Amino acid sequence: MCVAQTKDLHSRPPDISTAVRKVLVVDDSSSQRLTLSQILRQAGYSVRGAASGREALRMCRDDPPDLVFSDWMMPGMNGLEFCHEFRKMTREGYGYFILLTSKSDRQDMARGFDAGADDFLTKPVNTAELRARITAAERVVRMERELTEKNRLVQSTLHELQLIHDAINGDLIEARKLQQSLVRERYRDFGSAEVSLMLHSCGHVGGDLVGMFQISTSQVGVYGIDVSGHGISSALMTARLAGYLSATTPEQNIALVADEQGRFRGRCPEETAAILNELILGEIETEHYLTLLLAILDLETGEVEYVQAGHPAPLIQRADGTIEFAGEGGLPVGLLGEASYEARKLTLFPGDRLLVYSDGIIECRTPGGDMLGERGLAGVASGLRSARGARYLESLVWRLAEVTGSDQFDDDVSAVLLEFNGHADTS
């Protein structure tokens, strides 16, 4: 190997920040190997030499070089074979490989690139060309290391985010259990009436809430609530609301009023809605609002007094299968101070049922984009005429899944099914 114009490379000061620090020179000629090694050392590189491809492979396994200069024509394992094996090795960073050759045929160069060579240096080596090849090698290795470091940072960040996500996901699973526990009773038989509840969140937690509470031997209250949004803050809101309409702590239930003897009676539903409106605007201090349907059933007469505050109109299914919708909307709770609400009345007869539901049900969309709507819900209810209680509500969810083509809904769905039997037992 001849090296010409060595002065140019010698005069280059060592670059401490260079990406290429360790160089391996592979050549079966000791004089040629020594000559190139000296030039590279004087340029500031840490240089090792190997007399064969197999020796070079062992050195690469022990201490991978940043840059390899390898002669093409060597006995035993030639430079092309060595390059091929070099590329098979597992290493952290990229190793730049330059083949030293007198070959200039394009097919030979194509074979070299196929074997994994990055560049070629023609013998006899010109120092200006050598310097240019090393500069290119440093640029490639530096970019690869920068990319590797950035990828490492990305992977590290993704790992940390995954840990955070897993922690949040675990918390949300527990939060879902807690939210579902707010609905302590999913079914209760009051003698002349039966109440069944369904709560299905579109995510881990949601903004819907349903419930029931017994007021006296002759009255029972049921409600459906839909807090704006359906995320964590909405779920926290439902937890607060469950306390305001507690079935286990009547003294905290704003829908109940105690007389002088400590007996509870139902507060007028429109008054309860107004109180809840002021509580949300004055005490809870939230940007959320909610829709509400609160109904009080007289277990003896079947008369229902209810307030509809922005909630969908309740569905009435008569004993003969006839479907009706009651109510005209009303103002949601928590939007305007001193809002007024109007109570309405309806009567259930033996065999009738009342379905209170959230807008997530009637806003379910078909794959074509059409909403179920009240007409679609009426059709679903007609098909479920023979079902009762929990089976009715489970079948309702299945039918919604058939409508949408998925059991993952875009919004929370919830419902209260009130079935009036008409044979009160107040003993």
Q: Which pTM does this prediction carry?
A: 0.65
Q: What is the CATH number of the domain that holds 30?
A: 3.40.50.2300
Q: What is the CATH number of the domain that holds 227?
A: 3.60.40.10
**Does residue 131 fall inside a structural domain?**
yes
Same domain flag for 281 and 189? yes
- Residues 400, 384: Cα–Cα separation, whole Å: 12
Same domain flag for 113 and 40? yes
Same domain flag for 55 and 188? no
Q: What does the block give as tokens for 306?
A: 């209810």
Q: How far is CA 231 from the centre of its chain?
A: 12
Same domain flag for 97 and 221? no
**Residue 396 domain boundaries:** 182-420
**Does residue 81 fall inside a structural domain?**
yes
Same domain flag for 78 and 196? no
Q: Where does the pLDDT of residue 7 fall: very low under 50, low under 70, confident under 90, or very high at 90 and above?
A: very low
Can you give the pLDDT at residue 177?
Answer: 67
Neighbours of 63 (CB within 10 A): 10
**Does residue 160 fall inside a structural domain?**
no
Contact predicate 390/406, CB 8 Å: no
Same domain flag for 407 and 289? yes
Same domain flag for 196 and 70? no
**Does residue 161 fall inside a structural domain?**
no
Alpha helices (H) in 258-300, listed in sequence order: 269-279
Same domain flag for 232 and 293? yes
Which among 62, 115, 111 has a CA at the least distance from the CA of 85?
115
pLDDT digits (tens, 9 = 90+) for 144-192: 888 888 998 999 999 999 888 888 777 666 666 666 666 778 899 999 9
Average pLDDT in the 197-208 region? Answer: 81
pLDDT digits (tens, 9 = 90+) for 76-117: 999 999 999 999 998 888 999 999 988 767 888 888 999 999
- Residues 11, 29: Cα–Cα separation, whole Å: 26
Same domain flag for 187 and 144? no
Q: How many folded domains does the chain comprise?
A: 2
- Residues 78, 26: Cα–Cα separation, whole Å: 10
Q: What's the chain's average pLDDT?
A: 87
Contact predicate 51/33, CB 8 Å: yes
Residue 5 has pLDDT above 50, yes or no: no
